[in-house]
Amino acid sequence: MLFNRRQILKSAAALTVLPMAARASNHVMVASETIQQLAPEGFDKTRVWSFGGSVPGTPIRVEQGARVQRMVDNQLSVPTSVHWHGIRIDNAMDGVPGVTQEAIPAGGSFEYDFVVPDAGTYWYHAHNRSVEQVARGLYGPLIVQEADAPDVDQDLVLMLDDWRIDPETAQIADDFQNGHDLSHAGRIGNLISVNGSFDPTIPVKRNERLRLRLINAANARIFDVGIQGLNGWIVALDGMPLENPVPISESFPLAPAQRADLLVDVDAVSEETASLVSVERDGAFGLAKFAVSGEISATVRPAPNPLPPNRLPDVSSFQSAPLHRMVLQGGAMRWLENARIGETELTGRELAQLGRFWALNGEAERPAEPFLKTSVDSIHRIEFVNETAFPHAMHLHGHHFRLVDGDGSLGPWRDTVLVDRGQTQQIVLMADNPGDWLLHCHMLGHAASGMMSWFRVA
């Protein structure tokens, strides 16, 4: 039965009903405004929007194959929805207003109920006016544990975000429609947080092996992640295990919505600090510190085995699969000359007035017809041709895909691929999940200003 917790609390019966609501509390996920110390000590707390009372939202951690049920109770003053990013989910639970459900109205609720087929690191986030709602904090981690998990001393989720904060008030700048951001790299912030706080410190011991589950929840910032005082491997990307762990010898990019699972050994000497850093043109800044005290053993473990694989479809016959081109167009320095919104062809100037700066194959809004329409269980290649002057993080809903490397070999499985300026990147997917699925840039301002498409599997 649906119930609205806010109405219950307001009602005279609140006291008698509360214990029941409390019992159901791990099933109910409340979206509401809250305050949190995001900025460094000395700054005020920040008003944020959250799922479950904090940013990141309530962590969801389940076993592979489990059923996840969450009644999302929207106590915000605006409609919202929840998308379970990277889960190969039943279409009705995908959380896309206007495609798979109506947005959950203010004061309303929606029951999400789905099974998680794959182990790995995923996340959930609002999918209504995401450019604002994710920037205000509506996201959280969704961790699906392997039955046969690797041997580690700590399993840590590190959720990265990039906030734009007014330094005077420590409040979130509300210029979500800023045309300069939309038409350039997106909303880049001025305060980096990990798990909702600035440069947190995590206690570790020397020679511990840590699993670091990195999740980039930022609107637009591409982190160039590096480690110091730690030694290790990338073992999974976007939730999916790599066939062979990749030793981390230099920094690597983590685009919006992407995840990376690392297995790292603490090799800093005691009393020293190890760090997760972001490498910038003018040096590296710390994302999180690992304060090393004591040691668990005198030696480090041998190199890890690959994580147990998920049951992903066989796409090895991809060379004969149809190839669909998706051209990424527009943005500053490559301004659109024209593009369509629905049936209407508009000039670049008209589009800019509507806040549209980008297009996918000449469409500056999610088109009425899908980019790709396919029967279930067929293999397709998509070629993203980035004609713009900016990188884009292209995300497919409901499916993982494999990268096709330049030499024609198959690369890792992903759900979000970073396509650099001027780059062409081919992917291959088995369209095995029936439904209507979005395909969009995960720089959320780009998605809001034209980079939005969809495909139909039926």
**CA torsion angle 20 23 26 27 (round to 10):** -40
Nearer of residues 163 and 358 to Cu ion, judged by Cβ: 358
Stretch that binds ligand C2O, among 153-161, 313-321, 375-383, 434-442 (CB under 6 A): 434-442
Residues 121-180 that bind ligand C2O (CB under 6 A): 125, 127
Q: Smaller CB distance to ligand C2O: residue 107 or 370? A: 370
Q: Is 215 exposed, middle or buried (0-12, 13-18, 19+ CB in 10 A)?
A: buried
Residue 443 binds which entry of Cu ion, ligand C2O, none, CB below 5-8 Å type-dependent: Cu ion
Q: Cβ closer to Cu ion: 224 or 267? A: 224
Transcribe 244-298 into DSSP letters: EEEE--S-EEE-TT-EEEEEEEE-SPTT-EEEEEEEETTEEEEEEEEEEEEES-S
The residues, any chain, with a CB within 8 Å of residue 93's CB and separated by 6 or more, are 84, 100, 112, 113, 114
Q: Which of 38, 48, 64, 85 binds ligand C2O (CB under 6 A)?
A: 85
Window 222-281: residues binding ligand C2O (CB under 6 A): 257
Shortest distance, position 219 Cβ to ligand C2O, whole Å: 11
> What's the number of CA atoms in the CB half-sphere (13 Å) around residue 289?
12
As a whole number of angstroms, the distance between CA 53 and CA 59 comes to 11
CA distance linking residue 82 with residue 94, whole number of Å: 8
Name the binder of 446 from ligand C2O, Cu ion, none, CB < 5-8 A by kind.
Cu ion
- Residue number closest to ligand C2O, CB atom: 85
Q: Which is nearer to ligand C2O, 238 or 265 (CB)?
A: 238
What token pair was written down for 214? 């990195």
> Interaction with ligand C2O in 369-408: which residues (CB under 6 A)?
395, 397
Assess contact for 155 and 213: CB atoms under 8 A: yes
Q: Out of 438, 441, 443, 451, point to the residue binding ligand C2O (CB under 6 A).
A: 438
339 contact, one of ligand C2O, Cu ion, none, CB 5-8 Å limit per kind? none
Q: Find the part of the chain contacting ligand C2O (CB under 6 A) among 20-28, 274-282, 365-373, 438-446.
A: 438-446
Helices (H), 157-216: 179-183
Q: Does 221 bind ligand C2O (CB under 6 A)?
A: no
> Smallest distance, Å, CB 431 to ligand C2O?
17
**161-189 burial code (b ≥16 CB/10 A, e <16):** bbbbbeeeebbbbeebebeebbbbbbbbb
List of residues contacting Cu ion (CB under 5 A): 392, 441, 443, 446
Cα dihedral 131→52→204→261 (10° resolution): -50
Q: Which of 70, 83, 209, 381 binds ligand C2O (CB under 6 A)?
A: 83
Q: Report the interface residues with ligand C2O, using CB under 6 A.
A: 83, 85, 125, 127, 257, 395, 397, 438, 440, 442
